[in-house]
């Protein structure tokens, strides 16, 4: 490997590494020797990784790479001796650290202020630094032995263990685009499908970086060339576009977001325009709305099922209507006799709503299996997955995101033989997997719901509703429509502040205004928001609807004019009993207290003053979690505290403790309260 520098590099025999992506290279003459060398190489890499963490922490605090001094710890220039614990490789040789001098302290701008360096190697330019272990040959070929600044080209032996990190990787790993906001990025990884002949609208969200001081906070550019996309609108932190596609096809384009410091993030999107129509009908669908009895009816075909074990009926459903089935995991299942309509081959989709109460291995929601022949949708230790087997060879999808226990989740597994793919859809994410084998029809196998192997094993524990089986691989748009058809979180109370403090949810929890003044809202509508000057509030009388103990979501649009400590946007408090959403010195947070213990979320990122932002707090006792959202960005905190119902306590907006302290100063609009723990997807839809 050859390194070239036209500005000068610094070499020194010490360890440092931030991102390891170099190969471990070593050649042995025998099996035992190879194993020893491999172990030593791995030890060297582990040592580099350990030092990496120390250097990252130091660099984040100082905005520059550490330097090397005289090998004597002191308070001036010996950063390495202070922060790196182990300086030798497994062969007891000192590591060599090669770094770009322009990234060190005192060079102006630090790491975040630089866009390039003078070090290049093996076709890679703008290298921040290189770490070299002399390896088993105990030399670093052609490398000067003393620390110092050098220019030119040097060659390293292939026996050396070399790791390289570029300036871009260092900047991204450090999150140095902004010390409070983190790395600039786009939240969207893909786009929902568009339907030919139907109006389409999508929004791309940016986060992190260094936003501009005034709106719009980011600069957006794109390579969209489709003539049907006519409305492209850059907003504060997002870009929207809309139009009506005429024909099916795929539109591929790049979107670039740039922050105030010139940092850029680019992502390529492929927008599929499909023929939606009414979509394929399921071959079987069990909604479990019978409410009792030993039989579940197939609403799409003739494949009725029979309850086995202690399966019980439940009124708990995703949309609050009808009934569902509860499974205790002890021999419970629903058996559906074999029929040619469910002997699926070329394509299939399995969808279901599930609420898991206990997680365990390989639990099946719906399965048709005999030995290694199968198709199924299941949950493995809380992570949704699916699979197919042809009798000899089988494939399962990668495990999806972790489900929240005791909450309704929509799961969909799709298989497409023509494309040799299968997909696991959950919470707006799609996990694709390659599947080369076919799925034969294989008669004589019953379908099991809540269990595997025709009701013999891998039992599910929890509640299941609305299972559907399709003989087609549904599109992402069709799957989203299935999800949206069952879930509509209802607000317990809502305050749009459109000229009054009445409850917009229709629940009758109207508020009374004390001191707050009407101003235009974020869209410029007159009398559409309230401004609070530091001693104002809105008071809502106590009601059983507002006494939460299991789940809670609070959302609000705010525009803070002055940072205050512990300012409350919405609070229901009596002493050390409380739940709230607030802003502490510009950082959104939320919390709960039960009289003896309390838990608050970590403070979120800093909010700029005099700008509208969307804030949300989610409490989920069964899921043991609290979440704080800032403009769609999620943070999470574990919960060890329960929430009492607190009878006789009024709710305050813009203040704490029934309007008696911790006042907010700024504008508030669009306050909503839910008795559910909204999901990430639901929060982003509200935003």
Answer for the pair 217, 211: CB distance below 8 angstroms, yes or no.
Answer: yes
Rounded average pLDDT over 670-684: 83
Cβ contacts of 524 within 8 Å, gap of 6 or more: none
* Closest by Cα among 509, 537, 553 to 677: 553
For residues 204 and 252, the answer to whether their CB atoms sit within 8 Å is no
Q: How many CB atoms lie within 10 A of CB 578?
A: 22
Nearest to 267 by CA among 276, 254, 280, 250: 254
More confident residue, 186 or 538: 538
Higher pLDDT among residues 421 and 624, named by residue: 421
Place of tokens 């105990």: 138
Q: What is the CB-side half-sphere exposure of residue 468 using CA atoms within 13 A?
A: 22
Query: Across residues 489-509, what is the average pLDDT?
Result: 89
**Phi then psi for 525, rounded to 5 degrees?**
-70, 130
243 CB neighbour count, 10 Å cutoff = 18
Q: Per the confidence metrics, is the pTM higher than 0.75?
A: no
Q: What pLDDT is stored for residue 640 in this prediction? A: 63
Q: What does the alpha-carbon distance between residue 189 and residue 205 come to, in Å, rounded to a whole number? A: 10
- CA–CA dist 354, 403 (Å, integer): 10
Q: Nearest Cα to 134, choosing from 42, 13, 43?
A: 13
pLDDT score recorded for residue 571:
95
Rounded CA-CA distance 582/593 in Å is 14
Residue 447 β-bridge partners: 336
Give the pLDDT of residue 78: 56
- Position 13 scores a pLDDT of 34
Tens-place pLDDT, residues 97-114: 777 777 777 665 567 666
Unique residue bearing structure tokens 């000067």: 144
Report the 10 Å Cβ neighbour count for 373: 18
Mean pLDDT of the chain: 79
* Cα separations in angstroms, 300 against 285, 286, 468, 480: 5, 8, 9, 20
Could you read off the pLDDT of 375-394 as tens digits, one per residue? 999 999 888 999 999 888 88
367 vs 151, 314, 386, CA distance in Å?
66, 22, 9
Integer Cα distance of 65 and 60 in angstroms: 9
Q: What CA–CA distance (Å, rounded) separates 221 from 582?
A: 35
Greater model confidence, 339 or 121: 339
Residue 171's pLDDT is: 66
Q: Is the Cβ–Cβ distance between 435 and 415 less than 8 Å? A: yes
> Which of 346, 333, 329, 345 is closest to 286 using CA atoms?
333
pLDDT of the residue at 376: 96
Tokens standing for residue 295: 């039989």
Q: Would you state the pLDDT for residue 127?
A: 83
Q: Is the pLDDT of residue 510 over 90?
A: yes
Q: From CA 33, how far away is CA 41, in angstroms rounded?
A: 12
Question: What is the four-CA torsion angle of 150, 151, 155, 159, rounded to 10 degrees?
Answer: 30
pLDDT digits (tens, 9 = 90+) for 80-99: 666 766 767 777 777 777 77
Closest CA to 462 of 324, 360, 327, 621: 327
Sheet strands (E) in 44-172: 96-100, 119-121, 127-133, 148-155, 161-166
Q: How far apart are CA 627 and CA 180, in angstroms?
A: 18
Element (H, E) at 52: helix 31-62
CA distance 207 to 327: 42
Beta-strand pair 333-336/161-166: unpaired
Mark residue 645 as left, alpha or beta (left: phi above 0; alpha: psi -120 to 50; beta: remaining).
alpha
pLDDT score at 32: 42
Burial classification of residue 672, based on how many CB atoms lie within 10 Å of its CB (0-12 exposed, 13-18 middle, 19 or more buried): buried
More confident residue, 314 or 34: 314
Q: Write down the pLDDT at residue 182.
A: 57
Q: What is the mean pLDDT of residues 264-269?
A: 84
Using the predicted structure, report yes or no on whether residue 481 has a pLDDT greater than 90: no
Express each pLDDT in 16-53 by its tens digit.
332 222 222 223 233 444 555 667 777 777 777 666 66
Q: How many CA atoms lie within 13 A of 378 on its CB side?
A: 29
Domains and CATH numbers, the chain: 2-174 (no CATH), 185-274 (2.60.40.10), 284-484 (2.60.120.200), 491-686 (2.60.120.200)
Residue 630 confidence (pLDDT): 84
3 state DSSP class of 642 = coil
Do 620 and 404 form a contact (C-beta atoms < 8 A)? Answer: yes
For residue 621, whether the previous peptide bond is cis, meaning omega lies within 30 degrees of 0, is no
The stretch 125-149 carries a mean pLDDT of 60
Tokens of 25: 């290279």
How many H helices and E strands in the chain?
Answer: 5, 45
């Amino acid at each position: 490997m050859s390194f070239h520098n036209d500005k000068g590099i610094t070499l020194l025999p010490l360890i440092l590494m931030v991102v390891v992506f170099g190969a471990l290279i070593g050649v042995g003459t025998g099996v035992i020797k190879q194993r020893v060398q491999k172990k030593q190489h791995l030890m060297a890499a582990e040592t580099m990784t350990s030092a990496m963490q120390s250097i990252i922490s130091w660099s984040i605090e100082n905005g520059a790479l550490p330097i090397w001094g005289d090998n004597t710890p002191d308070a001036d220039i010996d950063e390495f001796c202070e922060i790196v614990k182990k300086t030798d490789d497994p062969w007891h040789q000192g590591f060599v650290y090669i770094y770009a001098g322009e990234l060190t302290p005192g060079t102006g701008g630090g790491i975040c202020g630089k866009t390039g360096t003078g070090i290049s190697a093996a076709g890679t330019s703008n290298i921040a630094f290189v770490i070299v272990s002399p390896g088993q040959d105990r030399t670093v070929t052609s490398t000067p032995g003393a620390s110092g600044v050098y220019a030119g080209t040097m060659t390293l032996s292939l026996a050396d263990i070399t790791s390289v990190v570029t300036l871009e990787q260092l900047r991204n790993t450090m999150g140095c685009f902004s010390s409070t906001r983190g790395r600039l990025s786009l939240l969207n990884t893909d786009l929902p499908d568009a339907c030919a002949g139907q109006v389409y609208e999508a929004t791309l969200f940016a986060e992190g970086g260094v936003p501009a001081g005034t709106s719009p906070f980011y600069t957006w550019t794109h390579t969209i060339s489709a003539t049907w996309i006519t409305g492209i609108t850059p907003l504060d932190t997002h870009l929207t576009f809309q139009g009506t596609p005429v024909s099916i096809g795929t539109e591929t384009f790049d979107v670039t977001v740039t922050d105030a410091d010139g940092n850029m993030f680019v992502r390529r999107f492929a927008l599929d325009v499909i023929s939606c129509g009414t979509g394929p009908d399921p071959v079987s669908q069990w909604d479990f709305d019978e409410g009792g009895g030993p039989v579940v009816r197939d609403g799409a075909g003739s494949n009725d099922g029979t309850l086995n074990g202690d399966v019980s009926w439940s009124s708990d459903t995703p949309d609050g209507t009808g009934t569902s089935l509860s499974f205790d995991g002890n021999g419970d299942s629903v058996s559906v006799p074999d029929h040619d309509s469910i002997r699926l081959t070329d394509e299939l989709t399995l969808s279901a709503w599930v609420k898991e109460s206990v997680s365990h291995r390989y639990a099946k929601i719906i399965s048709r299996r005999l030995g290694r022949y199968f198709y199924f949708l299941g949950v493995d230790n809380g992570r949704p997955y699916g699979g197919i087997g042809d009798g000899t060879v089988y494939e399962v999808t990668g495990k999806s995101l972790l489900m929240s226990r005791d909450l309704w989740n929509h799961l969909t597994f799709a298989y497409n033989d023509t494309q040799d793919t299968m997909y696991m859809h959950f919470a707006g994410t799609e996990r694709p997997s390659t599947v080369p084998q076919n799925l034969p029809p294989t008669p004589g196998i019953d379908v099991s719901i809540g269990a595997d192997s025709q009701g013999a094993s891998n039992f599910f524990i929890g509640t299941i509703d609305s299972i559907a089986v399709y003989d087609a691989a549904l599109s992402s748009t069709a799957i989203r429509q299935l999800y949206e058809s069952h879930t509509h979180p209802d607000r317990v109370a809502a305050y749009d502040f459109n000229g009054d403090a009445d409850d917009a949810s229709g629940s009758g929890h109207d508020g009374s205004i004390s001191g707050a003044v009407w101003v235009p809202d974020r869209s410029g509508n007159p009398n559409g928001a309230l401004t609070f000057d530091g001693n104002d509030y809105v008071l809502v009388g106590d009601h059983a609807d507002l006494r939460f103990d299991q789940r809670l979501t609070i959302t609000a649009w705010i525009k803070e004019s002055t940072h205050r400590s512990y300012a409350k946007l919405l609070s229901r408090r009596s002493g050390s009993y409380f739940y709230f959403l607030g802003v502490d010195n510009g950082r959104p947070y939320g919390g709960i207290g039960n009289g003896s213990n309390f838990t608050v979320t970590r403070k979120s990122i800093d909010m700029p003053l005099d700008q509208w932002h969307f804030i949300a707090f989610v409490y989920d006792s069964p899921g043991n979690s609290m979440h704080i959202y800032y403009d769609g960005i999620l943070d999470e905190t574990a919960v060890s505290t329960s929430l009492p119902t607190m009878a006789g306590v009024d709710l305050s907006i813009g203040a704490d403790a029934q309007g008696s302290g911790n006042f907010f100063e700024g504008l508030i609009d669009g306050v909503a309260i839910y008795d559910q723990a909204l999901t990430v997807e639901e929060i982003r839809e509200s935003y």
